């Protein structure tokens, strides 16, 4: 159908996506495309559904309308078996890390390998140690998740996300709640891994500085749709008020400070 | 006017609770059906099930052994006290064995299991959900129903009948020790009376069937509550409580139904 | 992970559970072992079996040698027909052995007591014990006693 060569089409494309949660609108007519080999940041205030978007792309949620394709496959209509096959090629880094608390660091990173491959133990050991070396935690392999700091936990989760050498990694708020040093480490890792392993990265975040530093392209979401997009430089230079508000961190502006509510005075007086 | 409104809202509240309960039951049934394909884990990853039998069965063993021994000794003392009035203390072995094998073994084991292992199962699965571990598995293309839930469910199902048998056996042995050493009964009579009165098909198989059903129901409730828990610390603690309450009531209710069927010979 | 320890513990647990089941089945429940070829059956008719039940012990000189297999009613004589399963090793009971239904203690379980006779021939599977004594009905004796007392 598409005359363009496969390489040129985006790895992930979201077209006219609508999604509701408990009848509350999350997305309406959302369109975006994630280019191969790039780091794409998806930004927006808290609660605009950035995490939901990752879950939609990963096929854990079904859209009310619209189409999401990942590497040419329509996620929402894939049979379960095919969906699981697709997910093996996608790594995801949860905000909480989502490490398995009853396994140590080594076993956590080995988990996808043990579940999906029948590799001999010695090879699994080598692969796990390679991934741990990449995130600098080879020495922490016998620690349990409860013994890790937030930054270390997220690095372990990152090592686990790339243990099957995925084509794409999705990062859910990778910078949230980290000290500046850990933040710098994660930022560096996302960029380096993306380039060194030839992956595609989606970073969901509200941290403007970090996103600007590593992203090739930025989407800014609000009210269920994309309100601005462009390279970090273009976004910084944008004169559109919404973009300036977000990039500059201004409390009020076109992106409302208030959650939608009735008339304040009437509410206080109790109608 | 205000009164009317209050009644209406109360009725509405009750109606909603009932509907919630029915919907919950429906979800639980759907969940059980979805769980069935995961049973293949028994063949493909038996070590996961073994690990869980350890967590549920072996770690419940101590409390079952101790409780079984005490219940057996109590039955011996109480039973002797009553039987001796009718000069029928030779039937003590029979009384103890029937009480344990038919009722106390399966039921008390099930209640202990629900409190010791069922609650732990719920809390574990609920916490894994709350900390996104289950979601993480799904995104790693690992089915948590198969990897996490099915092994726990199966382990509980296997463990309860074994624990119940151990409970009854230990109880009978403890009663024997008390009867012979403390109450001065003849050991041979103790066993002979028991053997003449306990039927293999009715009493022992009946007890085993009960404990198999209890194991299924407790495991089902425990994993469902965990999986269905709201992913917050409060949600998990509520789910854990609910597992113990619901499975205890379910065990007693089912026990009544099954006993009625068994005594009437179906 | 100490997988080995876990496996060992689970193995022991399963063995203990099965052993407990086996004990319940054999020692407590007296499971019919591999069919009934350990026993041979003789029958006896009684005027009244009282509260004798299936599986009640059959004793000889106070030793249990078998159990009651089946209790039925003979439609012609209106007597109770009781099948006694006797262990094979006691295959030398004389044909003129007598059977009585007695009670253990005052209100205990009823059982069948055998009293061997002097015949040189032995009971075989399917034979009938001719000399029987029915259950002693305590309430009947008491009422007879009262009537006879009243008679004096």
Please report the pLDDT score of residue A8 as a whole number.
61
* DSSP H helical ranges for A177-240: 180-196, 208-214, 232-237
Question: In total, how many domains does chain A have?
Answer: 1
Question: Which chains does C contact via 3+ CB–CB distances below 8 A?
Answer: B
In this prediction, residue C63 carries a pLDDT of 83
Tell me: the pLDDT tens digits for B178-229? 999 988 888 888 888 888 778 887 888 999 999 999 999 999 999 999 999 9
| Chain B: partners with 3+ C-beta pairs within 8 Å | A, C
Tell me, what's the pLDDT at A271? Answer: 55
| Rounded Cα distance, B256 and B210, in Å | 10
The residue among A225 and B78 whose pLDDT is bigger is B78
Size of interface A-B (CB pairs under 8 A): 53
Give the closest residue to A21 by CA, choosing from A66, A46, A52: A52
pLDDT digits (tens, 9 = 90+) for B27-38: 999 999 999 988
Q: B140 contacts in A (CB within 8 Å)?
A: 87-88, 92, 111-112, 115, 160
The verdict on a CB contact (< 8 Å) between A90 and B132 is: no
* CB nearest A87 (choices: B131, B132, B140): B140
Average pLDDT of the residues of chain C: 82
Distance from CA of C152 to the nearest CA of B (A): 32
What φ, ψ does residue A116 adopt, rounded to 5°?
-110, -10
More confident residue, A184 or A3: A184
Q: Determine the distance in angstroms separating the CA of C1 from the nearest CA of chain B, rounded to an integer.
A: 11
Chain B residues with a Cβ under 8 Å from any Cβ in chain A: 127-128, 131-133, 135-136, 138-143, 147
Between these two residues, B223 and C117, which has the higher pLDDT value? B223
Q: How far is C105 from chain B (nearest CA, A)?
A: 6
Q: Is the pLDDT of residue C96 over 90?
A: no
Confidence grade of residue C107 (pLDDT, cut at 50, 70, 90): low
**pLDDT, position A1:** 44
Amino acid B3: pLDDT: 77
Which domain covers residue A78, as residue numbers? 1-82+206-256
List C residues 26-65 in contact with B (Cβ-Cβ < 8 A): 27-32, 55-57, 64
Average pLDDT over residues A66-73: 89
Could you tell me if A168 lies within 8 Å of chain B, comparing CB atoms?
no
Q: Determine whether the interchain pair B136/A60 forms a contact, defined as Cβ–Cβ distance below 8 Å.
A: no
What is the reported pLDDT for C30?
Answer: 64
Residue C20 to residue B54, Cβ atoms within 8 A: no
Lowest-pLDDT range of A164-173, B212-221, C68-77: C68-77
Asked if A144 has any chain B CB less than 8 Å from its own CB, the reply is no
Q: Which of A133-137, B145-149, C39-43 has the highest mean pLDDT?
A: B145-149
For chain A, give the mean pLDDT.
85
Q: What is the pTM of this model?
A: 0.78
- pLDDT tens for B131-171 read 889 999 988 989 999 999 999 999 999 999 999 999 999 99
| CB-facing half-sphere around the CA of B139: CA atoms within 13 A | 29
Q: Do the chains contact at B170 and C23, CB–CB below 8 Å?
A: no
Which chain B positions have a beta carbon within 8 Å of C25's beta carbon? 200, 204
Q: Do B141 and A87 touch (CB under 8 A)?
A: yes
For range C106-126, the mean pLDDT: 83
Query: Which chains are within 8 Å of A by 3+ CB pairs?
Result: B
Residue range A110-118: mean pLDDT, rounded: 90
* Inter-chain touch B196–C3, beta carbons under 8 Å: no
Is a pLDDT exceeding 50 seen at residue B7?
yes
Looking at residues C52-65, what average pLDDT do you find?
84
Has residue A235 been placed in a domain? yes
Chain C residue numbers with beta carbons less than 8 Å from the beta carbon of B166 are: 16-17, 20
Distance in angstroms (rounded) separating the CA atoms of residues B195 and B201: 13
| B213 vs B43, more confident | B213
* Mean pLDDT (whole number) for A230-258: 78
Contacts of B44 in chain A (CB under 8 A): none
**Residue A98 to residue B131, Cβ atoms within 8 A:** yes
Residue among B57, B61, B172 whose CB faces C28 most closely: B172
The verdict on ipTM greater than 0.85 is: no
Predicted local confidence at residue C34, as pLDDT: 44
> A88 and B141 in contact by Cβ < 8 A?
yes
Segment A18-42 mean pLDDT: 88
Confidence (pLDDT) at A223: 82
Q: Do B90 and C106 touch (CB under 8 A)?
A: no
In the predicted model, what is the mean pLDDT of residues A7-14? 80
Q: Chain B residue closest to C66 (CA)?
A: B196
Dmax over CA atoms of chain A, in Å, equals 72
Report the residue of B62, B196, B201 to disrupt the C interface, i.e. the one with the largest count of C CBs within 10 Å. Answer: B196
- Domain-located, residue A126: no
How large is the average pLDDT for residues B173-177? Answer: 95
- CA closest to A85 among chain B residues: B141
Whether residues A112 and B140 touch (CB distance < 8 A) is answered with yes
Site of tokens 């404990």: B211
**Interface size, chain B vs chain C, as Cβ–Cβ contacts under 8 Å:** 108
Residue C35: pLDDT band by 50, 70, 90 thresholds?
very low
User: How much is the pLDDT for B87?
Assistant: 81
**Residue from the list A60, A86, A111 with its beta carbon closest to the beta carbon of B138:** A60
pLDDT of residue A3: 47
The answer to whether residue A150 sits within a structural domain is no
> What is the distance of C-alpha B241 from the center of its chain?
15
pLDDT greater than 90 at residue B235: yes
Amino acid A80: pLDDT: 86
Yes or no, beta carbons of B135 and A99 under 8 Å apart: no
Distance CA C41, CA C59 (A): 14
Predicted local distance difference test score (pLDDT) of residue B1? 60
Write out the DSSP string of B58-114. IHHHHHHHHHHHHHHHHHHHHHHHHHGGGT-GGGHHHHHHHIIIIIIHHHHHHHHHI
Q: Report whether pLDDT(A251) > 50.
A: yes
Note whether residue A191 is domain-resident.
no
Give the start-to-end residue ranges of the domains of chain C: 1-31, 39-143
pLDDT value at residue A256: 66
Structural domain contains residue A141 = no
User: Cβ–Cβ of B140/A99 closer than 8 Å?
Assistant: no
Q: Which residue in the set A100, A116, A160 is minimally distant from B141, CB to CB?
A: A116
> Are A127 and A119 spatial neighbours (Cβ–Cβ below 8 Å)?
yes
Q: B residues 56-75 near C, CB within 8 Å? A: 57-58, 61
Q: Are A40 and A194 in contact (CB under 8 A)?
A: no
Q: In this predicted structure, what is the pLDDT of residue C129? A: 86
What integer is the mean pLDDT of A226-238? Answer: 86
Q: Which of B243, B229, B13 is nearest to B131 (CA)?
A: B229
Contact B91 C109 (CB under 8 A): yes
Q: According to the model, what pLDDT value does residue A2 have? A: 46
> CATH number for the domain including A28?
3.40.50.300
pLDDT tens, position by position, B76-124: 999 999 998 888 888 899 999 999 999 999 999 999 999 999 999 999 9
Contact A88 B139 (CB under 8 A): no
Contact (CB<8Å) A101/B133: yes
pLDDT mean over A207-228: 87
Rounded to a whole number of angstroms, the distance from the CA of A264 to the nearest CA of chain B is 28
Token look-up 């390998």 returns A113
Report DSSP letters for chain B, one per residue. Answer: -HHHHHHHHHHHHHHHHHHHHHHHHHHHHHHHHHHGGGGGHHHH-HHHHHHHHIIIIIHHHHHHHHHHHHHHHHHHHHHHHHHGGGT-GGGHHHHHHHIIIIIIHHHHHHHHHIIIIIHHHHHHHHHHHHTTHHHHHHHTT--HIIIIIHHHHHHHHHHHHHHHHHHHHHHHHHHHHIIIIIS---HHHHHHHHHHH--IIIIIHHHHHHHHHHHHHHHHHHHHHHHHS-SSHHHHHHHHHHHHHHHHHHHHHHHHHHHHHHHTT-
What's the count of helices (H) and strands (E) in chain A, helices before strands? Answer: 10, 10
The answer to whether A87 contacts B138, with C-beta atoms less than 8 Å apart, is yes
């Amino acid at each position: 159908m598409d005359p363009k060569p496969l390489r040129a089409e985006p790895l992930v494309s979201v077209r006219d996506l609508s999604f509701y949660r408990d009848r509350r609108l999350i997305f309406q007519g959302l369109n975006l495309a994630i280019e191969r080999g790039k780091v794409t940041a998806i930004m927006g205030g808290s609660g605009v559904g950035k995490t939901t978007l990752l879950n939609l792309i990963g096929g854990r949620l079904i859209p009310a309308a619209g189409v999401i394709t990942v590497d040419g496959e329509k996620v929402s209509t894939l049979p379960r078996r095919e969906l699981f096959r697709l997910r093996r090629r996608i790594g995801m880094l949860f905000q909480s890390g989502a490490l398995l608390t009853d396994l140590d660091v080594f076993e956590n990173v080995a988990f996808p390998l043990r579940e999906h491959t029948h590799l001999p133990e010695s090879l699994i050991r080598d692969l796990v140690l390679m991934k741990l070396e990449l995130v600098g935690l080879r020495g922490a392999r016998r620690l349990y998740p409860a013994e890790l700091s937030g930054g270390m936990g997220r690095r372990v989760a990152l090592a686990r996300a790339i243990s099957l050498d995925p084509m794409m990694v999705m990062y859910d708020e990778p910078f949230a709640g980290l000290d500046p040093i850990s933040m710098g480490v994660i930022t560096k890792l996302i960029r380096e891994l993306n380039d060194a392993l030839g992956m595609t990265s989606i970073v969901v975040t509200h941290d403007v500085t970090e996103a600007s530093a590593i992203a090739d392209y930025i989407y800014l979401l609000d009210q269920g749709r994309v309100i601005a997009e462009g390279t970090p430089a273009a976004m910084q230079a944008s004169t559109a008020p919404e973009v300036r508000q977000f990039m500059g961190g201004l409390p009020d502006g076109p992106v409302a400070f208030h959650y939608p509510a009735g008339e304040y005075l009437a509410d206080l007086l109790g109608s | 006017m205000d009164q009317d409104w209050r009644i209406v809202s109360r009725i509405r509240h009750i109606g909603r609770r009932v509907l919630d309960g029915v919907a919950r039951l429906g979800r639980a049934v759907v969940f059980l059906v979805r769980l069935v394909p995961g049973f293949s884990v028994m063949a493909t990853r038996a070590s996961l099930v073994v690990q869980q039998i350890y967590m549920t069965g072996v770690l419940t063993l101590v409390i079952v052994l101790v409780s079984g021994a005490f219940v057996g000794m109590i039955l011996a003392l109480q039973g002797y006290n009553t039987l001796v009035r009718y000069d029928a203390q030779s039937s003590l072995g029979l009384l103890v064995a029937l009480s344990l094998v038919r009722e106390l073994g399966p039921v008390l084991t099930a209640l202990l299991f629900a409190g010791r292992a069922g609650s732990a199962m719920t809390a574990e699965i609920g916490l894994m959900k709350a900390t996104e571990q289950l979601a993480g598995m799904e995104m790693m293309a690992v089915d948590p129903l198969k990897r996490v839930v099915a092994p726990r469910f199966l382990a509980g199902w296997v463990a309860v009948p074994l624990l119940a048998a151990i409970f009854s056996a230990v109880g009978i042995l403890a009663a024997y020790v008390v009867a012979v050493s403390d109450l001065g009964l003849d050991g041979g009579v103790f066993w002979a009376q028991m053997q003449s009165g306990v039927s293999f098909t009715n009493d022992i198989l009946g007890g085993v069937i009960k404990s198999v059903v209890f194991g299924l129901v407790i495991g089902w409730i425990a994993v469902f509550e965990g999986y269905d828990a709201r992913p917050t610390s409060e949600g998990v603690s509520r789910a854990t409580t609910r597992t113990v309450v619901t499975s205890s009531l379910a065990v007693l209710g089912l026990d009544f139904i099954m006993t009625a069927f068994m005594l009437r010979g179906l | 992970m100490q997988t080995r320890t876990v496996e060992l513990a689970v193995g022991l647990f399963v063995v203990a559970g099965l052993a407990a089941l086996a004990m319940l089945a054999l020692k407590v429940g007296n499971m019919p072992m591999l069919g009934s070829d350990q026993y041979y059956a003789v029958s006896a008719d009684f005027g009244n079996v009282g509260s004798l039940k299936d599986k009640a012990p059959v004793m000889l000189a106070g030793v249990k040698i078998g159990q009651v297999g089946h209790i039925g009613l003979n439609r012609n004589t209106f007597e109770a027909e009781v099948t006694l399963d006797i262990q094979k090793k006691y295959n030398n009971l004389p044909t003129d052995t007598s059977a009585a239904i007695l009670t253990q203690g005052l209100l205990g379980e009823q059982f069948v007591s055998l009293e061997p006779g002097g015949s040189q021939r032995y009971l075989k599977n399917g034979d009938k014990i001719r000399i029987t004594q029915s259950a002693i009905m305590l309430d009947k004796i008491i009422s007879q006693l009262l009537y006879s007392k009243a008679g004096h």
